[in-house]
Amino acid sequence: MSILTLFGVMDWVFEVPTPLTSLDALSSATKKKPKSKGGGSGGGGSNKPEPPPEPEEGVARFVDWRIGNDRGRPVLGLTVAAGANRTKYILVVPNKSDKDSGLNPPGDIVDLAKDLKVGNKVRVTYIEDNGLIKVKKLVQEGSDIGEPYVFESYGTARIGGENRMIVRANRDGCSTEFSIPNQAGPDGKPVPEPNLAGKVKEYRRSDIVDLKYDCEDYRFILRDVTPFPMSEGGAVVAVQNKTVGGETCRVLVVSVPTKGTRTLYVPAGKDASPALTATAAGIRPSQAAEFKYFRKGGYCWLTEIAVKTNGS
């Protein structure tokens, strides 16, 4: 078993879940390992030392960075997700020198960490050394995937000697955590940045969001969370009225080809749009339209309805 002890929230014990060759599934570019040579009759073999492992390559999705230790010395690690099931692996980034007593990853990795986002593709050149998967080279493949995040939960964790509010979100099957900066509260004690913490608490599991964040000291620091705008065409199959937060909302149940039904709410009260309310009031079952909306608080909220007429 290989141990990668992490500083911060908790200690992680990492064991390569399957043989290293399982990483072959990441890319057809993976190099083949050299065949071992026999040692002659009687099984005596040769006294020559084993050759160093040949580097291999794979493509995976980046999940997060993490700081741990290898043989008692701090090292940078990263989590990648591989294959259709997004199996996770922890890779170790060796320091520039084996003699480094502190964290000292290569400069190209330091630069990459500033901009690499969750879910982006990376090409990894790696070797297996003492049970650890060690990175020889790491590059981003292509640009940001442009996908939204699926909100999972929020909570509190102990980081760097203080409590921090943590948001967990998933992007393209890669689930990770983002922390909210603290600031001094009324009593001088650190509290999560109030405006951002308040916005986060408005979201529920499975809401679709856009996250703005930075990477500082190899941790993701959340700067903003907003609803991710979506658009789909379909036909109304039912019109209803439901109460949400004390307000009566008009609700359109829409059939979307190949995707099933969507239940879309027309904002009411202080969030109401007179133009949208008027358009929704004229919608009848079987009416086709293009619907723009976002998901927040467990509901899909309409922002625009473009009614389709004959020939449009």
Residues 182-232 have pLDDT tens digits of 999 999 999 999 999 999 999 999 999 999 999 999 999 999 999 999 999
pLDDT over 90 (residue 24): no
**Phi and psi dihedrals of 94, rounded to 5?**
-60, 150
DSSP state of 187: T
pTM score, whole prediction? 0.80
Among candidate residues 178, 156, 229, the one with its CA nearest the CA of residue 64: 178
Q: Which residues have C-beta within 8 Å of that of residue 10, sequence separation ≥ 6?
A: none
* Predicted pLDDT at 277: 96
17: pLDDT strictly greater than 90: no
Alpha-carbon gap, residue 1 to 169, rounded angstroms: 29
* The pLDDT of residue 310: 67
Q: Which residue has the higher pLDDT, 25 or 307?
A: 307
Mean per-residue pLDDT, 40-61: 73
**pLDDT computed for residue 191 by the predictor:** 94
The amino acid at 280: A
Which residues does residue 253 pair with via DSSP β-bridges, in sequence order? 238, 263
Q: What does the alpha-carbon distance between residue 304 and residue 290 come to, in Å, rounded to a whole number?
A: 8
Q: Please report the pLDDT score of residue 184 as a whole number.
A: 93
Instruction: Report phi then psi at 54, rounded to 5.
Output: -80, 130
Average of pLDDT values for 139-164?
91
**pLDDT category, 264, cuts 50, 70, 90?**
very high
What local confidence, expressed as pLDDT, does residue 312 receive? 55
**All structural domains of the chain:** 1-28+53-144 (2.40.50.140), 149-227 (no CATH), 230-307 (2.40.50.590)
Q: Produce one character per residue of 11-29: b if its CB has 16 or more CB atoms within 10 Å, e if not.
A: eeebebeeebeebbbbbee
The mean pLDDT value of the chain amounts to 84
Residue 200 backbone dihedrals phi, psi, to 5 degrees: -60, -40
Q: How far is CA 128 from the centre of its chain?
A: 26
Can you tell me whether residue 220 is helix, strand or coil? Answer: strand
pLDDT computed for residue 83 by the predictor? 83
Mean pLDDT on 60-77: 88
